[in-house]
Amino acid sequence: MTTHWSPHPGRRDANGGEARLGFLDEALETLYRVGQILSRSLDLQETLTEMLRALDEGGYTRGLVTLATPDGDMAVNAVHGMPAARAEKIRYERGEGVVGMIIDRGRPVVLERVSDEKRFLGKLGLYDFGLPFIGVPIRVGGDIVGVFAAQPDTPADSLLDDRARLLEMVANLIGQSVRLSWQVQRERRDLTEERDNLRRTVRGQFGFSNIVGHTEQMQHVFEQVRQVAKWNTTVLIRGETGTGKELIAHAIHYNSPRASAVFVKLNCAALPENLLESELFGHEKGAFTGAVAQRKGRFEQADGGTLFLDEIGEVSPAFQAKLLRVLQEGELERVGGTRTIKVDVRLIAATHRDLETDVEAGKFREDLYYRLNVMPIHVPALRERLEDIPEIARFLVGKIGRAQGRELSITDSALRILLHHDWPGNVRELENCLERAAVMSENGVIDRDQMLMTGVEDGMGKGAPLTLTRPGLDLDDPDMDERERVIAALEQAGWVQAKAARLLDMTPRQIAYRIKILNIRVKQF
């Protein structure tokens, strides 16, 4: 048995020299082919199997690659000459047979005849005992992680050591492929774990447990969300600013069959119309100044998932027509493009506007309104569910405490103050007030004093007093803003809304909506 070879082979005759030159040419070709195969794919088993097939064609038969398992054994990863299903069940323990000996010694083993080595087990039942056998260790970063073995298809000759050197070079290439494959597997595993953790976190953040409310109105909202989440129905979420419409949209998506796909959102009021079109539909390179590359829009990004369009009532009538086509046909064209792109998107829209009034006034397309208003969900204002304020406040205090890295609590006296405020800014205003109170609290307890410092008044106070306009004020005064004008009309009409509406050339429903969104407290007589 030979376990190594001399780096300086003995002298050969002329015929032997010609044979070695021929061998070297074949060896270079073999290394080139092996390198090409191993760099072709990241599927390690597939590339190793193809490599062993190529070596068999080059005169190195019955190729075998074993790699270390987590328990320390050597498992057959690829073999040429027998079914893979049978080979993959075979294991070599450390020190067992010739394969185990290669691992222990960390050096190649070269047998002139397999039958001359008593430790050769022949577990695979594959090798010709009358032919040579060459086995070399596979190394990754200096560690032996496997064995590569093959049989030359000719009896031992003067080139046997050279053949062993060739197979050791091949083993080095295999080691590089193994290292890269394992690195990719680790990165994929890490990414998968990170993705799963993020999904669990996101579902926890946007599940029903984060939408607090036990009032009848909120239970009705929860039931609507549970029902509509199952389907691809378009949803229109209605409600004042700060009521949590985006949270409802998240709950619908993450409780739907599309939960594993993307959730894309866009505030339509945050962009001018020319940028809104590019943002939603994308653009081609050179479509306009600054379009230096092709860009997918939000609809394409949300393909297979959900697109949430907040403040949908703010888009212009001209853009509404373009939006309608996507909703009706499920197809779009990028800005500057001519190719029609099909998209599969579940749309959820939200608005604080009175769309019915806007439709009557010609500010919002009626056909788009009906396309969006398939499943309307109204999120009640906070003042309409005062019973939920203590629970919401405690939930928000816990959230703020986690953000500040400390334990926070709120007293009953502070909660009583919160219950007597009308909350024009809804839950968002409540959260801001609690955060200000938490900043003022040194001991982590939000009490009455800290709440009063946020601007929320005690007792039955309604927050900051309103400045009412004087009766008889000119309603056409250009310096008067909309809120002052509505209050002035109400004052002149004796707080009769129908009469005030006539003064402002509005319908009763329109003035009722203005009173609501402008947070005007109606006097009771």
More confident position, 343 or 71? 343
pLDDT at 523 over 70: no
Q: What is the mean pLDDT of residues 252-265?
A: 91
Predicted confidence band of residue 237 (pLDDT cuts 50, 70, 90)? very high
State how far the alpha carbon of 385 is from the alpha carbons of 8, 125, 207, 247, in Å.
92, 79, 20, 17
- Taken in order of first residue, the domains within the chain and their CATH numbers are 14-184 (3.30.450.40), 208-380 (3.40.50.300), 385-452 (1.10.8.60), 467-525 (1.10.10.60)
Predicted confidence band of residue 207 (pLDDT cuts 50, 70, 90)? low
- Please answer whether residues 301 and 279 qualify as being in contact, where contact means their C-beta atoms are separated by less than 8 angstroms: no
How many other β-carbons are positioned within 10 Å of the β-carbon of residue 240? Answer: 21
What's the pLDDT score for residue 16? 60
- Please answer whether residues 184 and 112 qualify as being in contact, where contact means their C-beta atoms are separated by less than 8 angstroms: no
State how far the alpha carbon of 458 is from the alpha carbons of 415, 434, 463, in Å.
11, 15, 9
What's the pLDDT score for residue 299? 93
Weakest-pLDDT range from 128-132, 149-153, 272-276, 303-307? 272-276
What's the pLDDT score for residue 8? 36
pLDDT in tens, 347-361: 999 999 999 999 999
Please list, residue by residue across 367-379, b when 16 or more beta carbons sit within 10 angstroms of its beta carbon and e when fewer do: ebbebbeebebeb
Looking at residue 353, the DSSP 8-state letter turns out to be: S
How many other β-carbons are positioned within 10 Å of the β-carbon of residue 474? Answer: 10
What's the pLDDT score for residue 81? 80
pLDDT in tens, 425-474: 899 999 999 999 999 999 999 998 888 888 887 644 343 333 333 344 56
pLDDT at 204 over 80: no
What's the pLDDT score for residue 437? 93
Residues facing residue 152 across a β-bridge: 60
Looking at residue 335, the DSSP 8-state letter turns out to be: B
What's the pLDDT score for residue 137? 92
Predicted confidence band of residue 205 (pLDDT cuts 50, 70, 90)? low
Torsions phi, psi for 282 (to 5 deg)? 85, 175
Contacts of 354 (CB under 8 A, 6+ apart): 509, 510, 513
As a whole number of angstroms, the distance between CA 268 and CA 282 comes to 15
What's the pLDDT score for residue 465? 34
Predicted confidence band of residue 263 (pLDDT cuts 50, 70, 90)? very high
What's the pLDDT score for residue 463? 36
Q: What is the mean pLDDT of residues 10-38?
A: 72
Burial of residue 327 (CB within 10 Å: 0-12, 13-18, 19+) is middle
Closest CA to 107 of 59, 173, 164: 164
What's the pLDDT score for residue 6? 35
Predicted confidence band of residue 14 (pLDDT cuts 50, 70, 90)? very low
Q: What is the mean pLDDT of residues 391-409?
A: 93
pLDDT at 9 over 60: no
For the chain, give the percent of residues with pLDDT over 70. 90
What's the pLDDT score for residue 15? 54
Angle between helices 273-281 and 317-329 (to 10 degrees): 10
What's the pLDDT score for residue 201? 64
More confident position, 308 or 164? 308
- Could you tell me the two tokens for 217? 């109105």
> Helix, strand, coil shares of the chain as percentages rounded to 5?
50, 15, 40
What's the pLDDT score for residue 427? 92
What's the pLDDT score for residue 206? 61
Report the mean per-residue pLDDT for the chain. Answer: 83
What's the pLDDT score for residue 211? 78
Mean pLDDT: which of 290-294, 311-315, 421-425 is highest? 311-315
What's the whole-model pTM score? 0.56
pLDDT at 13 over 50: no
State how far the alpha carbon of 363 is from the alpha carbons of 313, 317, 366, in Å.
9, 6, 9
What's the pLDDT score for residue 363? 92
- Please answer whether residues 135 and 102 qualify as being in contact, where contact means their C-beta atoms are separated by less than 8 angstroms: yes
pLDDT in tens, 101-136: 888 888 898 998 988 888 888 888 888 888 999 999
Closest CA to 437 of 428, 426, 448, 421: 448
Weakest-pLDDT range from 206-215, 419-428, 440-449? 206-215
pLDDT in tens, 67-99: 887 767 778 888 888 877 777 778 877 778 888
pLDDT at 520 over 60: yes
What's the pLDDT score for residue 208? 62
